[in-house]
Amino acid sequence: MTGPVINRVTDPVTDPVTDLTGPDGIRAARRTTLRRTTLRRATVALTLAAASVGLAGCAGDAGASGGTDVGATRLGSATPVPSASTATSGASTVATTSAPATADPRAAKVTAANTALTTSLYTLVEAMKKVQTDNTLSDLRGQLGTAATGARDALARERKAAYPSETRSCTSVRTYASRVAGFVETGTRVRGSIASRIGLLESDLAALKTAQDAVTTRRDALAAALKGVSNPPSTVSPADVTAALEQATTRRSDVAGTIATVGVASSEARTAFAKNLSSSRTILYDAC
């Protein structure tokens, strides 16, 4: 009768029951350990293969959907690292957008000359506007005329109140003498404003002349740049330039004429004011 068997192991392949204390048992145990190790390695290999397939599929999906480039993710940057195809595409784009070799380099000179002319025209227009805004001589001349007329009328009333002596009213004489002095004072202030305004306008006209000369110079420069250019870029119309220059000439002439006229009127008013004031004082002192 066989006694109880201890230290037994089951072989997963042949499934014998072996006594581990004998040589056969030791060999069986070794075979079992080797086969289990081989099985575990095979399982790990299959798992890694499956994981690789899954990652490859994810990478393919990301590429198809325009996912973030791996290099960009690795660098921690929000800007994807361009791939070789992107770099090639960029180089192709640069090549197709570069200027054609047959472009006329003189066209750039035309553009520059036209830009300079346009700037000069803008300056010219602004200079004409300033002359127009500053030209208030007509209003000042009207104020000067009002003062001169008032002084003359007040002097006549003062004289009438003083003579003849039989009807003399010193109260009226003094009243009209005060009015004469008031109109003369007003006229003197207006004359000061006229002188100041004339000085400003003369400065404006000088600036307008400078702007006009600049337009003429740059118009000629543009005409020179256009010579020999078969297909020039768009430029300012020569007719518009001519019209602007003619308008500037007319403006300068008109304002210069106004300055001369008002200057003469101011000088004449100065003489008249002096005479009126002198006569008024003589009447006042003589009569009252």
270-288: pLDDT as tens digits: 999 999 999 999 999 999 9
Write out pLDDT tens, residues 8-21: 444 444 444 444 44
Portion of the chain with pLDDT greater than 70, in percent: 64
- Please compute the mean of the pLDDT values over residues 103-110 and round it to a whole number: 83
Q: Using the Cα atoms of residue 159, residue 164, residue 165 and residue 167 in order, give the sign of their dihedral.
A: negative
**Could you give the CA distance from residue 197 to residue 262 in angstroms, rounded to a whole number?**
11
Looking at residue 186, its pLDDT comes to 98
pLDDT at 124 over 90: yes
Greater pLDDT, 93 or 251: 251
DSSP string, 190-212: HHHHHHHHHHHHHHHHHHHHHHH
Nearest of 223, 227, 224, 249 to residue 236 by alpha carbon: 223
Burial 45-72 (b: 16+ CB within 10 A, else e): eeeeeeeeeeeeeeeeeeeeeeeebeee
Looking at residue 78, its pLDDT comes to 34
Nearest of 156, 152, 185 to residue 283 by alpha carbon: 156
Looking at residue 5, its pLDDT comes to 43
pLDDT at 145 over 80: yes
pLDDT at 131 over 50: yes
**Could you give the CA distance from residue 180 to residue 275 in angstroms, rounded to a whole number?**
11
Domain boundaries, given as residue ranges, for the chain: 8-69, 106-287
**Range 106-287: architecture per CATH:** Up-down Bundle (1.20)
- Please compute the mean of the pLDDT values over residues 239-265 and round it to a whole number: 97
> Considering the chain, what is the average pLDDT of its residues?
77
